[in-house]
Amino acid sequence: MKNLEVNRDNTRLVGNDLRKTHGPAYLVQINYERAVAAGGDAIIEALRAVGEATWLKEHGASLIAVDADRKLRYERIAGRGGALDQVTFEHFSKQEDRELAGADAWDMNIAGVMAMADYTLTNDGAVEKLRAQVDQVLEEIKK
């Protein structure tokens, strides 16, 4: 899968291929091992597959889902202007629909991952509002 254009569709393709080849938790296991080696607390973000969420929960992690209205998410990514973000709203919506409910253990199933969350935050305002929500959840987790 070398020499692929850097975009969201190809990122999904590569991630799914790695999970299919090495197991549904492969990507999160690598990050978890790095976090353990670094010591202290860590946040592993961007879970995409139920296998990743399951593996983390089995290893004592708390899951925090962060959601926002689709149109707002699109406006934010369009404003970033990164290589993965150069899409129309229609294409963005198709990508999200495909990523929301994959049937295979290695496929993206963001809705399934979010359903497993211990906490769900709504990111519909200023970044300070989200930070306050995160701080509150982290304090609760530390108890």
Residue-level pLDDT at 106: 84
Residue-level pLDDT at 9: 83
Residues 6 or more apart in contact with residue 139 via CB below 8 angstroms: none
**What proportion of the chain, given as a percentage, has pLDDT over 90?**
72
Residue-level pLDDT at 76: 92
Stated pTM of the model: 0.85
What's the CA gap between 85 and 76, in Å, rounded? 9
Show the low-confidence residues of the chain (pLDDT under 70): 1
Residue-level pLDDT at 80: 85
What's the CA gap between 14 and 7, in Å, rounded? 11
Strands 119-122 and 64-67: parallel
102-131, pLDDT tens digit by residue? 888 888 999 999 999 999 999 999 999 999
3-class SS at 143?
coil
- 70 and 91 in contact (C-beta within 8 Å)? no
Residue-level pLDDT at 129: 96
What's the CA gap between 30 and 131, in Å, rounded? 26
What's the CA gap between 29 and 18, in Å, rounded? 12
Residue-level pLDDT at 1: 60
Within its chain, how far is the Cα of 79 from the centroid? 19
**What structural domains and CATH numbers belong to the chain?**
8-142 (3.40.50.300)
What's the CA gap between 20 and 104, in Å, rounded? 9
